[in-house]
């Protein structure tokens, strides 16, 4: 009798795990579709979200966050620019640096992304992470000017990964920085713009763990 109960319990646990894995794959699939939609409007973004997600996920693991938070970082990183679908194409794919009025429009994309993503019942706070990914710990970020602990750790990780990937990628209006230069930049603003624990984990990945985007 007890053996049968244990067997049924084990079977139920396996079925629940398989169900969770299927849900995870479904959500990841949807996230990749969103990424494709965003990147098709801007050739300079192709591969950006996958690379950011790879780095952000690695940082979260290096910081020993819970598996739940790691999964949230991974998905949020893939969809963090979804709010750009609301921007005019001439701004999204502009081959030169944005002027002030254009940049002010761009600064709305985290809020737009939040408004889109909050309608989906994700198992993680994806919409809020996306809303916060351009915030800086000194309050100089956008769109809400959040500070320090007001910013989710997942958003702090995404913010650093996003900056490192962007700086080390070629843009039509500027050459790519070397990885050493990009890491030097985030180190310079450690504990000013960026969370020091996140910066330290990021630098350690590249300098000691052999992390590479490709």
DSSP string, the chain: -HHHHHHHHHHHHHHHHHHHHHHHHHHHHHHHHHHHHHHTT-GGGTTHHHHHHHHHHHHHHHTT--HHHHHHHHHHHHHTTGGGGGS-HHHHT-SSPPPHHHHHHHTTHHHHHHHHHTTS--SS-HHHHHHHTT--TBS--SSS--BGGGS-HHHHHHHHHHHHHHHTS-BTTBPPPPHHHHHHHHHHTBTTTB-HHHHHHHHHHHHTS-----
Using 70 as the pLDDT threshold, list the residues of the chain that sit under it: 1-3, 5, 7-10, 15, 172
Contact by Cβ (8 Å): 80, 48: no
Q: What is the pLDDT of residue 21?
A: 76
Q: Which of 58, 56, 69 is nearest to 125 (CA)?
A: 69
Count of domains in the chain? 1
Q: What is the pLDDT of residue 9?
A: 67
Contact by Cβ (8 Å): 152, 128: yes
Domain that holds residue 163: 2-207
Is residue 112 domain-resident? yes
Is residue 109 domain-resident? yes
Is residue 63 domain-resident? yes
Q: What is the pLDDT of residue 1?
A: 58
Is residue 213 domain-resident? no
Q: What is the pLDDT of residue 78?
A: 96
Contact by Cβ (8 Å): 115, 131: no
The residues, ordered by sequence, that sit 6+ positions from 164 with a Cβ below 8 Å of its Cβ are 55, 182, 183, 186, 202
Is residue 50 domain-resident? yes
Q: What is the pLDDT of residue 159?
A: 98
Q: What is the pLDDT of residue 89?
A: 79
Is residue 212 domain-resident? no
CA 124 to chain centroid, in Å, comes to: 13
Q: What is the pLDDT of residue 170?
A: 82
Interatomic CA distance for residues 13 and 142, integer angstroms: 43
CATH of the domain at 51: 1.10.3210.10
Interatomic CA distance for residues 96 and 18, integer angstroms: 48
Q: What is the pLDDT of residue 31?
A: 87
């Amino acid at each position: 009798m007890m053996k049968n109960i244990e067997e049924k319990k084990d079977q139920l646990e396996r079925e629940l795990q398989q169900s969770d894995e299927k849900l995870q794959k479904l959500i990841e699939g949807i996230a990749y579709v969103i990424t494709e939609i965003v990147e098709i409007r801007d050739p300079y973004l192709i591969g950006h979200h996958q690379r950011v997600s790879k780095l952000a996920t690695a940082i979260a693991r290096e910081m020993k966050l819970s598996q739940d938070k790691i999964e949230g970082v991974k998905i949020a990183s893939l969809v963090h620019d979804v709010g750009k679908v609301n921007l005019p194409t001439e701004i999204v794919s502009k081959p030169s640096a944005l002027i002030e009025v254009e940049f002010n429009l761009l600064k709305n994309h985290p809020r737009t992304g939040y408004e889109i993503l909050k309608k989906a019942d994700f198992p993680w706070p994806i919409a809020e992470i996306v809303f916060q990914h351009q915030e800086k710990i000194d309050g100089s970020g956008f769109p809400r000017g959040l500070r320090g602990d007001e910013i989710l750790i997942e958003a702090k990780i995404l913010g650093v990964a996003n900056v490192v990937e962007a700086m080390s990628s070629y843009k039509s209006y500027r050459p790519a920085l070397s990885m050493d230069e990009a890491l030097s930049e985030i180190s310079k603003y450690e504990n000013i713009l960026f969370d020091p624990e996140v910066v330290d984990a990021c630098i350690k990945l590249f300098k000691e763990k052999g992390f590479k985007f490709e």
